[in-house]
Amino acid sequence: MPTRDYAKSRKRKGKSTYLILSLILLFIGLSAAGLYFLKEKAPAPVIPTPTNAVQAPKSSLPSRPEEVYSYIRDLETREIPVGQDEKHLAQQAKLNEKQEKLLRERKALEEKRLAEQAAINNQTPPKTEGSATDSSSPAINQSAEQELAQQKAREEEKRLAEEKRRKEQERKKQQELAAAKKKEEEKAKTKIVAKAGNPQEAPKQVGQFGLQCGAFKNKAQAENMQARLAMSGFNARINSSADWNRVVVGPVGDRAAASRAQTNARSVADCVIVGM
């Protein structure tokens, strides 16, 4: 069995204990140094400053006055007479001192207002006699207005009559002009027909032409056409045969004269130029 050296083992055990203690002390020292370093580098704590709240200024307006209704108090304290005693009734109906004071003040104010109004009226300049009369008498104003209205009505009637007379004159003038124009046209037609139907010139003209304004089997129709042409200034006649009644005008002269006569007779009938 091997032998053991107990003395050396105890020495080794004591060295290991010292080593552990030194390590623990070193660790504690490092920890303390680290904490101190952190404390030095840490920012300073922010101390909150107390803020005083700004109070809004209170309104300096006076409080609303309390409304006092004196008439309610008067009604509450007023006694209503129930008896028929005249003295008692007069005493109850008598105004109190405050009501009498108010009545006197109102009366004084009314008198003052009337006095001021009278002073203002006295200071205004006097009106003329005509204007004073007009303002003081409503009847005169009314009569003046009526007279003015009547005058306006008369002027309006006069204007309407003048306008009517002027229109009547214009109408008569137009009628006279139309009559004169119609008369001149009739004279011109008469001259044309007289020239066309002159028997003295007929033998002298060569190639006589006339107008045929219709051919009718009924002689009454032919006579009607002849009358219409005669009223227009044409020398018309009827040439009757076995079957037809021809209404002719002329001879009126050469072909140009016949053409003019045809144009003039167009308002009565559609005539054609024929040789005669």
Rounded CA separation 231/155 (Å): 52
Our CA dihedral for 138, 139, 141, 147, rounded to 10 degrees, sits at 160
Half-sphere exposure of 120 (CA within 13 A, CB side): 6
| Residue 79 included in any domain | no
Quote the pLDDT of residue 233: 86
What global pTM score does this model have?
0.27
Strand order in the sheet with 272-275: 236-240, 245-253, 209-216, 272-275
HSE-up of residue 177 (Cα within 13 Å, Cβ side):
6
CA–CA gap between residue 82 and residue 137 (Å, rounded):
55
* Domains contained in the chain, number: 1
DSSP one-letter string for 185-212: HHHHHHHHHHHHT-TTTTTT-SS-EEEE
Q: State residue 239 phi and psi, 5-degree precision.
A: -105, 105
Task: Specify the DSSP element, H or E, that contains 138.
Answer: helix 138-196
Note whether 228 and 216 are within 8 A (CB): no
Distance CA 252, CA 192 (A): 9
Domain assignment present for residue 124? The answer is no
Cβ within 8 Å of residue 132, ≥6 positions away: 126
- Please report, for residues 130, 134, 152, 154, 187, the alpha-carbon distance to residue 147 in angstroms, rounded to integers and kept in the order given: 17, 14, 9, 10, 59
Q: Do the domain assignments include residue 164? A: no
Query: What is the DSSP code (8-state) at residue 124?
Result: S
pLDDT at 178: 86
In a domain, 218, yes or no: yes
DSSP state of 94: S
With respect to residue 78, please indicate whether it lies within any of the assigned structural domains: no
In a domain, 253, yes or no: yes
Res 94: pLDDT: 58
Cβ atoms of residues 258 and 250 within 8 Å: yes
User: What residues are paired with 43 via a beta bridge?
Assistant: none
Domain residue limits at 203 = 197-275
157 located within any domain: no
Phi then psi dihedrals of residue 60, to 5 deg: -95, 10
Per-residue pLDDT of the chain (276 residues; tens, 9 = 90+): 455 555 555 555 567 888 899 999 999 999 998 888 888 776 666 676 666 655 666 666 777 766 666 666 666 676 665 555 556 555 555 556 677 788 889 889 999 989 888 888 877 555 454 444 445 556 667 777 888 888 888 888 888 999 999 898 888 888 888 888 888 888 777 766 555 555 444 444 445 888 898 888 888 998 998 898 888 888 889 988 888 899 898 888 888 988 988 888 888 888 888 887
Residue 232 contacts residue 258 (beta carbons within 8 Å)? no
d(CA 118, CA 104): 21
The pLDDT value given to residue 232: 86
Taken in order 95, 98, 101, 102, the sign of the CA dihedral is negative
Return the pLDDT at 268.
Answer: 84
212: in domain: yes
CATH number at residue 252: 3.30.70.1070
